[in-house]
Chain A
Amino acid sequence: MVKLTGAQAIVEALKKEKTKYVFGIPGGSTLPIYDVFYDSDIRIILARHEQCAAHMADGFARASGVPGVCMATSGPGATNFVTGIATAYMDSSPVVAFTGQVSRKVIGKDAFQEADVIGITTPITKHHFQLKNALEIPKTIWMAFKIASTGRPGPVLVDMPKDVQLESGDMEFPEKVEIRGYSPNYDPHPVQVKRAVKLLMNAERPLIIAGGGVIISGASAELIKLAELLLAPIAITLMGKGCMPEDHPLFLGMTGMHGTPDSNKLVNEADVILAVGTRFSDRTTCKLECFCPEAEIIHVDIDAAEVGKNVKVSLPIIADAKIALQQMYNGLLKKSKKKKSPWFKRTKELTEYIESQKYNDDGYINPIKLMSQLRKTLSLNAIITTDVGLNQMLAALYFKVLKPRTFISSGGLGTMGFGFPAAIGAKVARPDVPVIAIAGDGSFLMTAQDLACSTTENIPVIVLVLDNKMLGMVAQWQRLFYNRRYSSTELKGVPDFVKLSEAFGAEGVRLESIKDLPIIMKRAVKSDVTTVIDVPVSPEANVFPMVPAGAGLNDIMWGEG
């Protein structure tokens, strides 16, 4: 028992959760906590917008696997959190978000800076708490971290009325708390594993679809072992990018709307699909009726509600991916040797497409070339974050990722402006590696004010702005399906990102020629401040291959017309 104020108890509980960083912005209703932070060892990083603070915590969590913590004041601070929390929720990222709240006696009275943040975030959080009194703080924060980081991870919100922060009490910090409605299941049912082994053994054309769950559970080694044993090619989802080295011979690339032809073709031809840690999003399956109608699907997921939500499966396995894959591998090893099948031969369309791209100097940088050149300038551990749209799909398709947790992207929610703040968070988690945000000119401007955070907090990252002076992905759809009527997609080259960056005390440089990339990157990686590299890209730039909306995985478009 120790006598503490609520604010002190919150900070103490954070320390017990080994929290080293809090991303946030203070305000009226978090003053008591920020006052305690003033003397604490926890590093408090001042963001310039609460949305960014949440993305930073998210980027931190995705790069490290450790819960990211962010804090905002009540009302507008809390509502600014919403996009960041929803982003983390859709991509199963362990974020613990703290919000200030007006004092208990005025809750519900529309007090100054009051917002019903619990009501607002209920559908976009894994769980939420509102502190009713100071004594429940140690237990509540223990539960918040536990729930955020176990099972299928996700954001948890803790709402803290100001007077609870000021209230004193004798605090007891428990080692463990019983949460009677929460017990994630990690171990697969042995019978289901046996059935899966049998299905896989008898498969003529087995294929694995690996999603973000593989990365979250740290199952990369198990995945590759199993695939090699089965000689099963692996297609990934966007969230699965990084779950295996992309130079592996069994790697097919991403499947779905911007999937590689190898991947989309083979997914539809497989007779048994082992889907691991994926929720079969519409961007992965495309038209559901055309999604591998012939295949038996084994679905491994830690979240039972994902089984049968979008796609009917033959065999569900509710378990942690790592444990399930290991057990399937063990089961298969005991069986007789697997015969080689002609299935393993792969098409080479994508490689040919990349090689067929001309890199002429029309004053623009070819983004596909840029991705492959960028890979060459970076160490294997370098972390890439992306924004959303053209830049994201170009990076997903053409930047080869080799290690887990080195590709961070807003997959589910598709949040423009995510890349740069996520890069700041990732850099805080991994100060030892270069972190590069691949941004678009539209996306970057949505969160560019946090250049101030990166320069003043000394968190240097690199931002590659694919500057096509367009909202590129929307423009691509307008080009393809709306008769080139560019309704509201022309950004007209404003702002000048080089000057903008300099105004924030960051380095700003323009990539005039792809040849300059190695030297610019070398300098940027060593720089003490954030470097923004403006990359002029043609306003006509598209990303292909692509499956149009409403079509099946096999209806791949390679260009306009």
Chain B
Amino acid sequence: MMTDNHIISIIVEHKPGVLYEVSNMFRRRNFNIESITVGSIGKEGLARMTITVRGDEDTVEQVTKQLHKLVDVVKVAKLDPERSVVREMALVKVHVANSNVRSDVIQYANIFRGNVIDVSPDSLMIEITGDSEKINAFIQLIQAFGIKEIARTGITALQRGGKAFRA
């Protein structure tokens, strides 16, 4: 069976302890979370968690069923990557030894539609958004300059089209 990354989007009660409940279930059932992002969806005390899971189809099937069993989980959807928008943001702090490097980094950032959001005499901070592969590619490209720090948000995603979750 193919082991792959799968994206599961769940709507949960936005209250203390729910993240623990969800992550606890993953640990207890021996599933792995590749990444998880959480944020309010702005209505009726609900939040969305976008969870990336590595595993074969059967595992992902089990994950969705076990998630569904949690009382504080209101809705579970497995996102089809072909029909979803998948985004991740990264903040990358790059070492810039001289002005040549500085302009190279800025050029690369522009090509990747990134933004320079912080400047110091020997560093630049780039904000870049896209799917994980795009961010990986950018990081690889500027690695040669010397990366000081990276912060990645993990994946968040939504299904394309007009349909929406209703509470």
A and B bound?
A: yes
Q: How far is the CB of A320 from chain B (nearest CB, A)?
A: 16
Q: Does A342 contact B (CB under 8 A)?
A: no
Contact partner, B70, options A181, A304, A308, A309, Cβ 8 Å: A181
Number of interface residues of B (CB under 8 A): 21
A305 partner residues in chain B, CB cutoff 8 A: 62, 65-66, 68-69
Given A119-B20, A123-B24, residue A308 in contact with residue B62 (CB < 8 A): yes
| Closest A residue to B167 using CB positions | A180
CA distance A127 to B68 in the complex (A): 13
B58→A308 contact, CB < 8 A: yes
Q: How far is the CB of A198 from chain B (nearest CB, A)?
A: 25
CA distance A88 to B26 in the complex (A): 21
A130 partner residues in chain B, CB cutoff 8 A: 17
CA distance A123 to B62 in the complex (A): 16
B74→A180 contact, CB < 8 A: yes
A181 partner residues in chain B, CB cutoff 8 A: 12-13, 70-74
B62→A122 contact, CB < 8 A: no
Q: Does A303 contact B (CB under 8 A)?
A: yes
Q: Does B43 contact A (CB under 8 A)?
A: no
Given A181-B70, A304-B65, residue A122 in contact with residue B24 (CB < 8 A): yes
Q: How far is the CB of A321 from chain B (nearest CB, A)?
A: 18
Q: Does B61 contact A (CB under 8 A)?
A: yes
**Interface positions of B from 63 to 98, Cβ below 8 Å from A:** 65-66, 68-74
Q: Does A1 contact B (CB under 8 A)?
A: no
B167 partner residues in chain A, CB cutoff 8 A: 180
Q: How far is the CB of A501 from chain B (nearest CB, A)?
A: 40
Q: How far is the CB of B41 from chain A (nearest CB, A)?
A: 13
**Binary A-proximity of B8-39 (CB < 8 A = 1, otherwise 0):** 00001100010011001100100000000000
| Closest B residue to A123 using CB positions | B28
Instruction: Tell which of A127, A147, A180 has the most Cβ of chain B within 10 Å.
Output: A180
B73 partner residues in chain A, CB cutoff 8 A: 181
CA distance A241 to B167 in the complex (A): 42
Q: Does A112 contact B (CB under 8 A)?
A: no
Q: How far is the CB of A140 from chain B (nearest CB, A)?
A: 12
CA distance A127 to B71 in the complex (A): 7
Given A118-B17, A180-B167, A308-B61, residue A147 in contact with residue B24 (CB < 8 A): no
Q: How far is the CB of B56 from chain A (nearest CB, A)?
A: 12
Question: What would be 20 A-B contacts, judged by CB atoms less than 8 Å apart?
Answer: A122-B24, A123-B24, A126-B71, A179-B71, A180-B74, A180-B167, A181-B12, A181-B71, A181-B72, A303-B69, A304-B65, A304-B69, A305-B62, A305-B65, A305-B66, A305-B68, A307-B65, A308-B58, A308-B62, A309-B62
